[in-house]
Structure 1
Amino acid sequence: ARSAYTVGREAWHSIPVDTLFPRTLKGDGTGPGGADRVWTRLAVAPEGGCADALDPLLAKTLRTVGCAHVLRATYTDATASSVTTVGLAFTEADTDAMRALGARFADQHLDRRTDLLPRTYPVQDSPAASFGARQRASWSVHVLTEIPVVAFAVTGFADGRASTPPQPADRAMADGATTPAAQAGLGHEAKGLADGVERALRTHVADLTERPR
Protein backbone atom coordinates (compact mmCIF):
# COMPACT_ATOMS: atom_id res chain seq x y z
CA ALA A 1 0.00 0.00 0.00
CA ARG A 2 1.13 3.57 -0.67
CA SER A 3 1.61 6.03 2.16
CA ALA A 4 -0.98 8.70 2.88
CA TYR A 5 1.65 11.37 2.24
CA THR A 6 2.50 10.00 -1.20
CA VAL A 7 -1.18 9.76 -2.13
CA GLY A 8 -1.93 13.13 -0.56
CA ARG A 9 0.67 14.94 -2.66
CA GLU A 10 -0.88 13.49 -5.82
CA ALA A 11 -4.50 14.04 -4.79
CA TRP A 12 -4.77 17.46 -6.44
CA HIS A 13 -4.77 15.79 -9.87
CA SER A 14 -5.72 12.18 -9.08
CA ILE A 15 -9.09 12.83 -7.40
CA PRO A 16 -11.88 14.20 -9.64
CA VAL A 17 -12.81 17.81 -8.97
CA ASP A 18 -16.47 16.88 -8.43
CA THR A 19 -15.32 14.58 -5.64
CA LEU A 20 -13.24 17.24 -3.89
CA PHE A 21 -15.79 20.00 -4.54
CA PRO A 22 -19.24 18.43 -5.04
CA ARG A 23 -21.79 20.44 -6.98
CA THR A 24 -23.99 20.26 -3.89
CA LEU A 25 -22.49 19.89 -0.43
CA LYS A 26 -24.57 19.12 2.65
CA GLY A 27 -23.59 20.17 6.14
CA ASP A 28 -25.84 18.34 8.57
CA GLY A 29 -25.92 20.17 11.88
CA THR A 30 -23.22 22.64 10.88
CA GLY A 31 -25.29 25.83 11.08
CA PRO A 32 -26.03 27.97 14.14
CA GLY A 33 -27.91 25.99 16.75
CA GLY A 34 -27.17 22.75 14.92
CA ALA A 35 -29.19 23.73 11.85
CA ASP A 36 -28.54 21.85 8.62
CA ARG A 37 -26.83 23.60 5.73
CA VAL A 38 -26.76 23.00 1.97
CA TRP A 39 -24.31 24.76 -0.33
CA THR A 40 -24.29 24.98 -4.12
CA ARG A 41 -21.07 25.26 -6.06
CA LEU A 42 -20.85 28.32 -8.28
CA ALA A 43 -17.48 27.66 -9.94
CA VAL A 44 -14.12 25.94 -9.57
CA ALA A 45 -11.02 28.10 -9.90
CA PRO A 46 -8.19 27.14 -12.25
CA GLU A 47 -5.42 25.23 -10.47
CA GLY A 48 -2.83 27.66 -9.13
CA GLY A 49 -0.32 28.32 -6.41
CA CYS A 50 -0.30 29.89 -2.97
CA ALA A 51 0.39 33.37 -4.35
CA ASP A 52 -2.92 33.29 -6.23
CA ALA A 53 -5.06 31.95 -3.39
CA LEU A 54 -3.59 33.39 -0.19
CA ASP A 55 -2.64 36.77 1.19
CA PRO A 56 1.14 37.37 0.93
CA LEU A 57 2.03 36.60 4.56
CA LEU A 58 -0.02 33.40 4.59
CA ALA A 59 1.57 32.32 1.31
CA LYS A 60 4.99 33.05 2.80
CA THR A 61 4.15 30.99 5.88
CA LEU A 62 3.14 27.98 3.77
CA ARG A 63 6.30 28.28 1.68
CA THR A 64 8.09 26.62 4.60
CA VAL A 65 6.29 23.38 3.70
CA GLY A 66 6.61 23.78 -0.06
CA CYS A 67 3.12 24.87 -1.05
CA ALA A 68 2.87 23.39 -4.54
CA HIS A 69 -0.75 23.40 -5.75
CA VAL A 70 -3.96 25.05 -4.63
CA LEU A 71 -7.47 23.99 -5.63
CA ARG A 72 -10.42 26.28 -4.85
CA ALA A 73 -14.15 26.54 -5.44
CA THR A 74 -16.78 29.10 -4.50
CA TYR A 75 -20.17 28.13 -3.06
CA THR A 76 -23.33 29.91 -2.02
CA ASP A 77 -25.81 28.89 0.67
CA ALA A 78 -29.41 27.87 0.01
CA THR A 79 -30.67 31.43 0.43
CA ALA A 80 -27.92 32.93 -1.76
CA SER A 81 -27.21 35.39 1.06
CA SER A 82 -23.64 34.24 1.74
CA VAL A 83 -20.75 33.11 -0.45
CA THR A 84 -17.70 31.08 0.49
CA THR A 85 -14.45 30.22 -1.23
CA VAL A 86 -13.07 26.92 0.05
CA GLY A 87 -9.70 25.48 -0.87
CA LEU A 88 -6.96 22.92 -0.37
CA ALA A 89 -3.27 23.77 -0.48
CA PHE A 90 -1.15 20.72 -1.31
CA THR A 91 2.42 20.82 0.01
CA GLU A 92 5.65 18.92 -0.55
CA ALA A 93 6.34 18.48 3.17
CA ASP A 94 6.86 15.35 5.21
CA THR A 95 5.10 14.43 8.45
CA ASP A 96 7.53 16.27 10.72
CA ALA A 97 7.26 19.49 8.72
CA MET A 98 3.46 19.43 8.68
CA ARG A 99 3.35 18.75 12.41
CA ALA A 100 5.74 21.64 12.99
CA LEU A 101 3.54 23.91 10.90
CA GLY A 102 0.44 22.79 12.79
CA ALA A 103 2.16 23.46 16.11
CA ARG A 104 3.24 26.91 14.90
CA PHE A 105 -0.33 27.78 13.91
CA ALA A 106 -1.59 26.64 17.30
CA ASP A 107 1.13 28.24 19.43
CA GLN A 108 1.16 31.57 17.60
CA HIS A 109 -2.59 31.64 16.81
CA LEU A 110 -1.81 32.21 13.14
CA ASP A 111 -5.31 31.07 12.20
CA ARG A 112 -6.70 34.19 13.91
CA ARG A 113 -4.48 36.84 12.33
CA THR A 114 -6.26 39.13 9.90
CA ASP A 115 -3.09 39.53 7.81
CA LEU A 116 -3.02 35.77 7.12
CA LEU A 117 -6.23 35.24 5.17
CA PRO A 118 -7.26 33.13 2.19
CA ARG A 119 -8.29 35.10 -0.87
CA THR A 120 -11.73 35.00 -2.41
CA TYR A 121 -12.57 33.57 -5.82
CA PRO A 122 -15.32 35.80 -7.26
CA VAL A 123 -17.61 34.38 -9.94
CA GLN A 124 -19.15 36.62 -12.59
CA ASP A 125 -22.92 36.69 -13.01
CA SER A 126 -23.46 34.94 -9.68
CA PRO A 127 -24.09 35.82 -6.02
CA ALA A 128 -20.27 35.88 -5.68
CA ALA A 129 -19.72 38.47 -8.42
CA SER A 130 -18.61 41.14 -5.93
CA PHE A 131 -16.84 38.79 -3.51
CA GLY A 132 -13.49 40.54 -3.06
CA ALA A 133 -10.91 41.19 -0.37
CA ARG A 134 -13.02 43.77 1.49
CA GLN A 135 -16.00 41.40 1.55
CA ARG A 136 -14.18 38.77 3.60
CA ALA A 137 -16.15 38.43 6.85
CA SER A 138 -14.97 35.17 8.42
CA TRP A 139 -12.43 32.49 7.65
CA SER A 140 -10.89 29.17 8.67
CA VAL A 141 -7.40 27.74 8.09
CA HIS A 142 -6.60 24.18 9.22
CA VAL A 143 -3.24 22.41 8.92
CA LEU A 144 -3.68 18.67 8.36
CA THR A 145 -0.90 16.45 9.69
CA GLU A 146 -1.84 12.98 8.40
CA ILE A 147 -1.64 14.23 4.80
CA PRO A 148 0.37 17.20 3.43
CA VAL A 149 -2.53 19.62 2.97
CA VAL A 150 -3.80 22.88 4.44
CA ALA A 151 -7.58 23.34 4.19
CA PHE A 152 -9.10 26.80 4.23
CA ALA A 153 -12.28 28.75 3.63
CA VAL A 154 -13.30 32.40 3.57
CA THR A 155 -16.86 33.67 3.55
CA GLY A 156 -18.81 36.91 3.13
CA PHE A 157 -22.19 38.41 2.37
CA ALA A 158 -23.53 37.95 -1.14
CA ASP A 159 -24.73 41.55 -1.31
CA GLY A 160 -21.16 42.81 -1.51
CA ARG A 161 -21.07 44.67 1.79
CA ALA A 162 -17.63 45.27 3.26
CA SER A 163 -16.71 43.43 6.46
CA THR A 164 -13.93 45.14 8.40
CA PRO A 165 -12.25 43.60 10.21
CA PRO A 166 -12.98 39.95 9.38
CA GLN A 167 -13.49 37.57 12.28
CA PRO A 168 -11.99 34.06 12.55
CA ALA A 169 -14.59 31.31 12.37
CA ASP A 170 -14.11 30.02 15.90
CA ARG A 171 -14.75 33.48 17.35
CA ALA A 172 -17.69 34.13 15.05
CA MET A 173 -19.19 30.84 16.27
CA ALA A 174 -18.67 31.59 19.96
CA ASP A 175 -21.65 32.02 22.27
CA GLY A 176 -22.48 35.67 22.68
CA ALA A 177 -20.64 36.87 19.57
CA THR A 178 -22.42 39.93 18.23
CA THR A 179 -20.55 40.93 15.06
CA PRO A 180 -22.51 40.93 11.78
CA ALA A 181 -20.52 37.87 10.68
CA ALA A 182 -21.42 36.03 13.88
CA GLN A 183 -25.09 36.97 13.79
CA ALA A 184 -25.35 35.87 10.17
CA GLY A 185 -23.69 32.53 10.92
CA LEU A 186 -20.76 33.18 8.59
CA GLY A 187 -18.29 31.49 10.92
CA HIS A 188 -20.42 28.36 10.65
CA GLU A 189 -20.42 28.72 6.86
CA ALA A 190 -16.62 28.92 6.66
CA LYS A 191 -15.99 26.06 9.07
CA GLY A 192 -18.79 23.86 7.72
CA LEU A 193 -17.62 24.08 4.12
CA ALA A 194 -13.95 23.67 5.01
CA ASP A 195 -14.78 20.61 7.12
CA GLY A 196 -16.90 19.10 4.36
CA VAL A 197 -14.22 19.44 1.69
CA GLU A 198 -11.53 18.26 4.10
CA ARG A 199 -13.62 15.21 5.01
CA ALA A 200 -14.08 14.28 1.35
CA LEU A 201 -10.33 14.55 0.79
CA ARG A 202 -9.49 12.43 3.83
CA THR A 203 -11.96 9.73 2.77
CA HIS A 204 -10.63 9.41 -0.75
CA VAL A 205 -6.97 9.57 0.27
CA ALA A 206 -7.64 6.75 2.75
CA ASP A 207 -9.35 4.73 0.02
CA LEU A 208 -6.49 5.26 -2.44
CA THR A 209 -3.91 4.48 0.23
CA GLU A 210 -5.49 1.11 0.97
CA ARG A 211 -5.56 0.03 -2.66
CA PRO A 212 -2.64 -2.15 -3.83
CA ARG A 213 -0.29 -0.61 -6.36
Structure 2
Amino acid sequence: MLGIGLIGGAAAGSWIAEDDEDSAARGFAAAVPVWHSVPVDTLFPPVVQGAGDGPGGADRTWTRIAVAPDSGCADAFDPLLWKVLADAGCRRLLRATYTDATQSYVTTVGLLFTRADPAGMSALATRFRTQHLAERPDLMPRPYAARNTPAAGFGDDQRATWTLSVRTDAPVVVYAVSGWADGRSVDTPQPAADAVRAGATTAQAQSGLGDEAQGLSGQIAQRLRRTVGSAATNATKRPS
Protein backbone atom coordinates (compact mmCIF):
# COMPACT_ATOMS: atom_id res chain seq x y z
CA MET A 1 0.00 0.00 0.00
CA LEU A 2 1.39 3.38 -0.97
CA GLY A 3 2.08 6.22 1.42
CA ILE A 4 -0.42 9.05 1.59
CA GLY A 5 -0.32 11.54 -1.27
CA LEU A 6 2.67 10.12 -3.12
CA ILE A 7 1.51 10.83 -6.64
CA GLY A 8 0.89 14.09 -8.41
CA GLY A 9 2.50 16.67 -6.16
CA ALA A 10 0.46 17.91 -3.21
CA ALA A 11 0.01 15.58 -0.28
CA ALA A 12 -3.09 14.66 1.64
CA GLY A 13 -3.17 13.45 5.23
CA SER A 14 -0.52 14.07 7.85
CA TRP A 15 2.38 12.52 9.71
CA ILE A 16 0.41 12.31 12.97
CA ALA A 17 -3.23 12.32 13.96
CA GLU A 18 -4.13 15.99 14.17
CA ASP A 19 -6.96 17.70 15.99
CA ASP A 20 -5.68 21.28 16.13
CA GLU A 21 -3.16 23.68 14.65
CA ASP A 22 -0.65 23.04 17.44
CA SER A 23 -0.37 19.34 16.60
CA ALA A 24 0.10 20.17 12.91
CA ALA A 25 2.88 22.60 13.82
CA ARG A 26 4.54 19.99 16.05
CA GLY A 27 4.48 17.45 13.24
CA PHE A 28 6.02 19.89 10.78
CA ALA A 29 8.71 20.95 13.25
CA ALA A 30 9.52 17.35 14.16
CA ALA A 31 10.39 16.60 10.53
CA VAL A 32 13.01 19.35 10.22
CA PRO A 33 15.94 17.65 12.04
CA VAL A 34 15.24 14.10 10.84
CA TRP A 35 17.93 14.24 8.14
CA HIS A 36 20.69 14.33 10.78
CA SER A 37 19.02 12.88 13.89
CA VAL A 38 17.86 9.51 12.51
CA PRO A 39 20.17 6.63 11.46
CA VAL A 40 20.36 5.99 7.74
CA ASP A 41 19.11 2.43 8.22
CA THR A 42 15.89 3.82 9.67
CA LEU A 43 15.11 5.95 6.63
CA PHE A 44 16.72 3.71 4.00
CA PRO A 45 16.79 0.16 5.43
CA PRO A 46 19.08 -2.45 3.84
CA VAL A 47 16.03 -4.47 2.75
CA VAL A 48 12.56 -3.08 2.05
CA GLN A 49 9.53 -5.36 1.84
CA GLY A 50 6.69 -4.12 -0.34
CA ALA A 51 3.63 -6.24 0.31
CA GLY A 52 1.32 -5.84 -2.67
CA ASP A 53 3.48 -3.16 -4.30
CA GLY A 54 4.16 -5.05 -7.53
CA PRO A 55 2.02 -5.45 -10.66
CA GLY A 56 -1.32 -7.05 -9.88
CA GLY A 57 -0.69 -6.73 -6.15
CA ALA A 58 2.40 -8.95 -6.17
CA ASP A 59 4.86 -8.59 -3.31
CA ARG A 60 8.18 -6.86 -3.84
CA THR A 61 11.56 -6.99 -2.08
CA TRP A 62 14.19 -4.31 -2.64
CA THR A 63 17.82 -4.46 -1.52
CA ARG A 64 19.83 -1.32 -0.91
CA ILE A 65 23.01 -1.25 -2.99
CA ALA A 66 24.25 2.29 -2.34
CA VAL A 67 23.71 5.28 -0.07
CA ALA A 68 24.79 8.67 -1.38
CA PRO A 69 26.68 11.01 0.94
CA ASP A 70 24.23 13.59 2.27
CA SER A 71 24.64 16.58 0.02
CA GLY A 72 23.29 19.67 -1.60
CA CYS A 73 20.68 19.52 -4.31
CA ALA A 74 21.69 21.36 -7.47
CA ASP A 75 23.20 18.37 -9.31
CA ALA A 76 20.54 15.86 -8.23
CA PHE A 77 17.75 17.19 -10.44
CA ASP A 78 17.25 18.25 -14.03
CA PRO A 79 17.99 21.99 -14.24
CA LEU A 80 14.37 23.03 -14.78
CA LEU A 81 13.19 20.89 -11.87
CA TRP A 82 15.81 22.35 -9.57
CA LYS A 83 14.76 25.85 -10.68
CA VAL A 84 11.26 25.08 -9.38
CA LEU A 85 12.41 23.39 -6.17
CA ALA A 86 15.02 26.04 -5.37
CA ASP A 87 12.33 28.43 -4.16
CA ALA A 88 11.79 26.09 -1.20
CA GLY A 89 15.52 25.90 -0.48
CA CYS A 90 17.70 22.87 0.15
CA ARG A 91 18.50 22.03 3.75
CA ARG A 92 19.81 18.56 2.86
CA LEU A 93 19.27 15.80 0.31
CA LEU A 94 19.33 12.12 1.27
CA ARG A 95 19.42 9.43 -1.44
CA ALA A 96 19.78 5.68 -1.72
CA THR A 97 19.66 3.28 -4.65
CA TYR A 98 17.96 -0.12 -4.53
CA THR A 99 17.57 -3.10 -6.82
CA ASP A 100 14.78 -5.65 -6.98
CA ALA A 101 15.12 -9.32 -6.01
CA THR A 102 16.11 -10.33 -9.56
CA GLN A 103 18.49 -7.36 -10.03
CA SER A 104 16.57 -6.47 -13.19
CA TYR A 105 15.68 -2.93 -12.11
CA VAL A 106 17.36 -0.13 -10.18
CA THR A 107 15.64 2.70 -8.32
CA THR A 108 17.02 5.79 -6.63
CA VAL A 109 14.77 7.14 -3.89
CA GLY A 110 15.34 10.58 -2.41
CA LEU A 111 14.23 12.77 0.48
CA LEU A 112 14.77 16.48 -0.12
CA PHE A 113 14.56 18.40 3.16
CA THR A 114 13.70 21.97 2.23
CA ARG A 115 14.00 25.24 4.16
CA ALA A 116 10.38 26.19 3.52
CA ASP A 117 7.75 26.84 6.17
CA PRO A 118 4.24 25.33 5.93
CA ALA A 119 3.01 28.15 3.69
CA GLY A 120 5.98 27.67 1.38
CA MET A 121 5.41 23.92 1.09
CA SER A 122 1.72 24.48 0.41
CA ALA A 123 2.56 26.96 -2.36
CA LEU A 124 5.06 24.54 -3.90
CA ALA A 125 2.58 21.65 -3.79
CA THR A 126 -0.09 23.83 -5.41
CA ARG A 127 2.27 24.77 -8.21
CA PHE A 128 3.14 21.14 -8.89
CA ARG A 129 -0.51 20.13 -8.87
CA THR A 130 -1.96 22.93 -10.99
CA GLN A 131 0.88 22.97 -13.54
CA HIS A 132 1.25 19.16 -13.64
CA LEU A 133 4.98 19.51 -13.05
CA ALA A 134 5.41 15.99 -11.66
CA GLU A 135 4.39 14.63 -15.08
CA ARG A 136 6.92 16.51 -17.23
CA PRO A 137 9.90 14.50 -18.52
CA ASP A 138 12.05 17.65 -18.58
CA LEU A 139 11.59 17.96 -14.80
CA MET A 140 12.95 14.66 -13.53
CA PRO A 141 15.14 13.75 -10.56
CA ARG A 142 18.51 12.23 -11.39
CA PRO A 143 19.63 8.77 -10.28
CA TYR A 144 22.47 7.99 -7.92
CA ALA A 145 24.78 5.54 -9.69
CA ALA A 146 27.38 3.72 -7.59
CA ARG A 147 30.44 1.97 -8.99
CA ASN A 148 30.66 -1.82 -8.76
CA THR A 149 26.91 -2.21 -8.21
CA PRO A 150 24.00 -3.11 -10.52
CA ALA A 151 23.36 0.65 -10.73
CA ALA A 152 26.82 1.51 -12.07
CA GLY A 153 25.37 2.44 -15.47
CA PHE A 154 22.25 4.17 -14.14
CA GLY A 155 22.57 7.65 -15.63
CA ASP A 156 20.24 10.30 -16.97
CA ASP A 157 19.70 8.45 -20.26
CA GLN A 158 18.65 5.30 -18.39
CA ARG A 159 15.77 6.92 -16.51
CA ALA A 160 12.55 5.14 -17.47
CA THR A 161 9.95 6.29 -14.95
CA TRP A 162 9.67 8.49 -11.89
CA THR A 163 7.37 9.81 -9.18
CA LEU A 164 7.64 12.94 -7.04
CA SER A 165 5.53 14.21 -4.14
CA VAL A 166 5.63 17.55 -2.35
CA ARG A 167 4.52 17.14 1.25
CA THR A 168 2.46 19.89 2.82
CA ASP A 169 2.70 18.62 6.41
CA ALA A 170 6.50 18.46 6.46
CA PRO A 171 9.34 20.29 4.69
CA VAL A 172 10.09 17.25 2.54
CA VAL A 173 9.89 16.29 -1.13
CA VAL A 174 9.82 12.51 -1.69
CA TYR A 175 10.78 11.06 -5.05
CA ALA A 176 11.97 7.96 -6.87
CA VAL A 177 13.37 7.31 -10.34
CA SER A 178 13.70 3.84 -11.88
CA GLY A 179 15.40 2.16 -14.83
CA TRP A 180 16.63 -1.19 -16.11
CA ALA A 181 19.76 -2.60 -14.49
CA ASP A 182 21.25 -3.60 -17.85
CA GLY A 183 21.95 0.05 -18.63
CA ARG A 184 19.65 0.38 -21.63
CA SER A 185 18.81 3.91 -22.73
CA VAL A 186 15.22 5.12 -22.67
CA ASP A 187 13.98 7.49 -25.36
CA THR A 188 10.63 8.33 -23.75
CA PRO A 189 10.48 8.30 -19.94
CA GLN A 190 6.99 7.89 -18.51
CA PRO A 191 5.56 9.11 -15.18
CA ALA A 192 4.99 6.18 -12.85
CA ALA A 193 1.35 7.18 -12.39
CA ASP A 194 0.79 6.64 -16.12
CA ALA A 195 2.81 3.42 -16.24
CA VAL A 196 0.64 1.73 -13.60
CA ARG A 197 -2.71 2.66 -15.14
CA ALA A 198 -4.91 -0.19 -16.32
CA GLY A 199 -4.43 -0.82 -20.02
CA ALA A 200 -1.03 0.88 -20.26
CA THR A 201 1.13 -0.85 -22.89
CA THR A 202 4.48 0.94 -22.70
CA ALA A 203 7.66 -0.93 -21.84
CA GLN A 204 7.59 0.70 -18.41
CA ALA A 205 4.06 -0.55 -17.82
CA GLN A 206 4.63 -4.09 -19.09
CA SER A 207 7.84 -4.51 -17.11
CA GLY A 208 6.39 -3.16 -13.87
CA LEU A 209 8.89 -0.30 -13.60
CA GLY A 210 6.14 2.12 -12.63
CA ASP A 211 5.32 -0.13 -9.69
CA GLU A 212 9.00 -0.14 -8.73
CA ALA A 213 9.14 3.65 -8.45
CA GLN A 214 5.77 4.06 -6.76
CA GLY A 215 6.14 1.11 -4.43
CA LEU A 216 9.61 1.94 -3.14
CA SER A 217 8.92 5.65 -2.73
CA GLY A 218 5.74 4.75 -0.88
CA GLN A 219 7.56 2.45 1.52
CA ILE A 220 10.26 5.04 2.26
CA ALA A 221 7.62 7.74 2.78
CA GLN A 222 5.80 5.50 5.25
CA ARG A 223 9.00 4.99 7.23
CA LEU A 224 9.59 8.73 7.31
CA ARG A 225 6.00 9.34 8.39
CA ARG A 226 6.30 6.88 11.29
CA THR A 227 9.63 8.38 12.35
CA VAL A 228 8.27 11.93 12.34
CA GLY A 229 5.08 10.88 14.09
CA SER A 230 7.07 9.23 16.86
CA ALA A 231 9.29 12.29 17.26
CA ALA A 232 6.28 14.60 17.43
CA THR A 233 4.57 12.40 20.01
CA ASN A 234 7.71 12.27 22.15
CA ALA A 235 7.99 16.05 21.99
CA THR A 236 4.54 16.42 23.56
CA LYS A 237 5.61 14.22 26.48
CA ARG A 238 8.64 16.31 27.41
CA PRO A 239 8.10 18.68 30.34
CA SER A 240 7.88 22.30 29.28
* Matching of residue 162 in structure 1 with residue 185 in structure 2: yes
- The correspondence for 2:208, drawn from 180, 185, 210, is 185
TM-score (norm 2): 0.86
Name the CA distance, whole Å, in 2 between partners of 1:164 and 1:51: 24
Give the aligned residue type for 1:196.
Answer: Q
Name the CA distance, whole Å, in 1 between partners of 2:209 and 2:67: 21
Q: Residues 69-112 of structure 1: CA distance to partner in whole angstroms, max 9, x if unpaired?
A: 10000000001000000000001111111111111111110000
2:10 aligned residue: none
* Matching of residue 85 in structure 1 with residue 108 in structure 2: yes
SS at match of 2:33: helix
1:151 aligned residue: 174
SS at match of 1:84: strand
Name the CA distance, whole Å, in 2 between partners of 1:179 and 1:49: 34
SS at match of 1:118: coil
1:52 aligned residue: 75
1:16 aligned residue: 39
2:4 aligned residue: none
Q: Structure 1 stretches (4+) deviating beyond 4 angstroms?
A: none
**Residue segments in structure 2 that go unaligned for 5+ positions in a row:** 1-22
Name the CA distance, whole Å, in 1 between partners of 2:90 and 2:79: 13
Q: Which has the higher contact order (CA 8 A, sep 6+)?
A: 2
Cα drift, residue 5 of structure 1: 2.1
Cα drift, residue 52 of structure 1: 2.5
Give the aligned residue type for 1:186.
Answer: L
Q: Could you tell which deviates more after superposition, 70-79 or 92-101?
A: 92-101
* Matching of residue 30 in structure 1 with residue 53 in structure 2: yes
1:72 aligned residue: 95
Structure index of larger Rg: 2
Name the CA distance, whole Å, in 1 between partners of 2:83 and 2:35: 21
Q: Residues 170-198 of structure 1: CA distance to partner in whole angstroms, max 9, x if unpaired?
A: 00101111111111100100011111111
SS at match of 2:179: strand
Q: Could you tell which deviates more after superposition, 126-135 or 60-69?
A: 60-69
Cα drift, residue 6 of structure 1: 2.0
2:140 aligned residue: 117
Q: Number of matched residues? A: 213
- The correspondence for 1:131, drawn from 140, 147, 154, is 154
Name the CA distance, whole Å, in 2 between partners of 1:209 and 1:26: 26
Report the RMSD for the aligned CA atoms in angstroms.
1.2
Percentage of pairs with the same residue: 54
TM-score (norm 1): 0.97
SS at match of 1:61: helix
Give the aligned residue type for 1:7.
Answer: A
